[in-house]
């Protein structure tokens, strides 16, 4: 980030401070999507004053990582340890050094832990032994570990069934910024006085990822910024997509095939549909990959109302990935001012509508608050139906609802999400579409709950003879709450 200014993260900061003040040893695992600011949070809170710290290196062999680890330890301890060949030896020396410190609190930070755990390195077993035999017995020790490979952190650190089972004293998930946090970051850190519509545009492309937002140049208009980042000759984010997936997943090819398939279907795909589309024989690898993508915030899983759990839908919700696949991937010779020159084109409008829907799905808490049901239990679902004919010959056109809230107060809220540059106008054709789709929804789901229609849009609803079709309207300002 540009400056050492902390935006948001209040809950995470409180959790870390609580653990630092406790009277016992703490093993705190911080995890989340790559580039989301995990390292920045820890380093900022402790002002880089660690009793020991080490950062793993991507695709670097064990001997090199060990040598760098011991070099860091030698600098801290002012002692030459000679050549070390195993992680067991390295952690033994670390424990000896830390035990001699005369301090009330010992802070250790190990970053990018999954990259240290290389093939046949035995790093994890050595780390487990270090924590179980010494770390957990030293009440002064506060050990923070981070990793962008969320599935590694979840499976081998937080959810480990071996030597680290139940040993993590606090796990902290760091989510991307919300719209409100993005606005605050741009103002406080980047000193960019953008309108909320411009902040939304940036969010639909970069998501709430601080690392990407930090690349924006306050001297340039928004479109020029996007051209420089994605389409210019030395575009900083042109190759980010490939590195992002390669650095997170061992079998990056499968994961990229999945998100590319999901990007082609706005309504999402079921596991069975994905299996057929990708021509995967065994469902085990697909199930694991989908679980990993959900855990890493690239994909969201939605219940399909009226259907069994096996028919749940998976949607690509990572906005950066969606933008890359729509406009950057496979087009090396593109106009360097593509984004500036393409405004108003049909492809941009189509993408904008879908990206805005994903932004809404990232801000369900804000939508619920705007509806006055923030504390109410409700499930976020999707629904779709193909055209069909009843036994009595009645023909139904089918339909699709991308987001509905199935509430505990006997109400189902059907959400229409519209990215519009002005107040949305409901005409007779659109009102009839809403009525027909609602009737189909009742027929297919057999629900007896009350149906409520809500419009979520940038600038609200223009009042006319048909606007009463919506009982509530939620504007962009509410999403910034």
Total-model pTM: 0.90
The arrangement of secondary structure in 364-479, i.e. its CATH architecture, is 3-Layer(aba) Sandwich (3.40)
Strands (E) across 131-214 are located at 141-147, 170-173
d(CA 112, CA 98): 21
Q: Alpha helices, DSSP H only, in 371-470?
A: 428-445
d(CA 398, CA 381): 17
Least Cα distance to 254 among 283, 273, 278, 270 occurs for 278
d(CA 446, CA 412): 12
d(CA 326, CA 346): 13
* Residue in the structure block whose two tokens are 């830390």: 98
Intervals of CATH 3.40.50.300 along the chain = 10-173
What is the SS3 assignment for 366?
Answer: helix
What does CATH list as the number for 10-173? 3.40.50.300
pLDDT at residue 4 in the model: 64
Residues of the chain with pLDDT under 70: 1-4, 163, 282-283, 306-310, 332-333
Report the chain's terminal Cα–Cα distance, integer Å: 24
Inter-residue contact 443 to 424 (CB < 8 Å)? no
**55-110 confidence digits (pLDDT tens):** 999 989 999 999 999 999 999 999 999 889 999 999 999 999 999 999 999 999 99
Strands (E) across 129-219 are located at 141-147, 170-173
d(CA 285, CA 90): 35
Annotate 44-99 with three-state secondary structure: HHCCCCCCEEEECCCCCCHHHHHHHHHHHHHHHHCCCCCCCCCHHHHHHHHHHHHH
d(CA 457, CA 480): 13
Inter-residue contact 381 to 449 (CB < 8 Å)? no
CA angle 420, 425, 429 (to 5 degrees): 120
What is the SS3 assignment for 293?
Answer: helix
Intervals of CATH 3.40.1350 along the chain = 364-479
* Residue in the structure block whose two tokens are 């809950």: 11
d(CA 361, CA 405): 11
pLDDT at residue 1 in the model: 42
d(CA 186, CA 206): 13
């Amino acid at each position: 980030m540009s400056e050492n200014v902390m935006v948001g993260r209040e809950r995470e900061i409180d959790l870390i401070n609580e653990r630092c003040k406790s009277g016992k040893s703490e093993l705190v695992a911080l995890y989340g999507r790559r580039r989301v600011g995990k390292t920045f949070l820890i380093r900022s809170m402790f002002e880089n004053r660690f009793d020991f710290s080490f950062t793993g290196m991507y695709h670097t062999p064990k001997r090199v990582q060990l040598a760098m680890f011991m070099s860091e330890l030698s600098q801290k301890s002012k002692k030459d340890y000679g050549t070390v060949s195993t992680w067991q030896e390295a952690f033994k020396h670390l424990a000896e050094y830390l035990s001699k410190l005369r301090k009330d609190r010992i802070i250790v930070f190990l970053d990018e832990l999954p990259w240290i755990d290389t093939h046949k390195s035995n790093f994890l077993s050595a780390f487990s032994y270090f924590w179980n035999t010494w770390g957990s017995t030293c009440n002064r020790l506060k050990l923070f570990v981070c990793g962008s490979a969320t599935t590694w952190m979840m499976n081998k650190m937080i959810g480990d069934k071996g030597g680290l089972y139940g040993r993590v004293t606090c796990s902290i998930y760091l989510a991307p910024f919300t719209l409100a946090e993005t606005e605050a970051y741009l103002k406080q850190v980047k000193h960019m006085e953008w309108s909320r519509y411009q902040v939304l545009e940036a969010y639909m492309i970069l998501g709430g990822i601080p690392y990407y937002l930090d690349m924006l140049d306050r001297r340039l208009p928004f479109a020029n910024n996007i051209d420089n980042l994605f389409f210019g000759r030395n575009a900083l984010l042109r190759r980010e997509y490939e590195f992002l997936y390669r650095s997170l997943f061992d079998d990056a090819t499968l994961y990229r095939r999945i998100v590319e398939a999901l990007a082609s279907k706005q309504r999402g795909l079921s596991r069975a549909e994905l299996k057929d589309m990708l021509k995967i024989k065994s469902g085990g690898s697909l199930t694991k990959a989908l679980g990993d993508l959900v855990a890493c915030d690239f994909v969201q899983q939605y219940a399909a109302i009226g259907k069994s759990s096996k028919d749940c839908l998976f949607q690509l919700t990572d906005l950066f990935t969606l933008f890359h696949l729509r406009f950057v991937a496979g087009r090396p010779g593109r106009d360097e001012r593509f984004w500036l020159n393409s405004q108003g084109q049909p492809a941009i409008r189509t993408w904008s509508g879908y990206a805005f829907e994903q932004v809404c799905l990232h801000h369900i808490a804000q939508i619920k608050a705007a509806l006055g049901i923030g504390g109410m239990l409700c499930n976020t679902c999707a629904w779709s139906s193909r055209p069909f004919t009843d036994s009595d010959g009645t023909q139904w056109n089918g339909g699709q609802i991308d987001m509905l809230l199935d509430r505990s107060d006997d109400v189902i809220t059907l959400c229409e999400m519209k990215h519009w540059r002005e107040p949305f106008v409901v005409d007779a054709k659109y009102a009839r579409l809403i009525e027909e789709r609602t009737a189909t929804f009742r027929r297919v789901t057999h629900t007896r709950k009350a149906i409520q229609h809500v419009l979520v849009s940038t600038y609200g609803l223009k009042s006319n003879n048909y606007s009463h079709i919506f009982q509530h309207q939620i504007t962009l300002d509410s999403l910034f709450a």
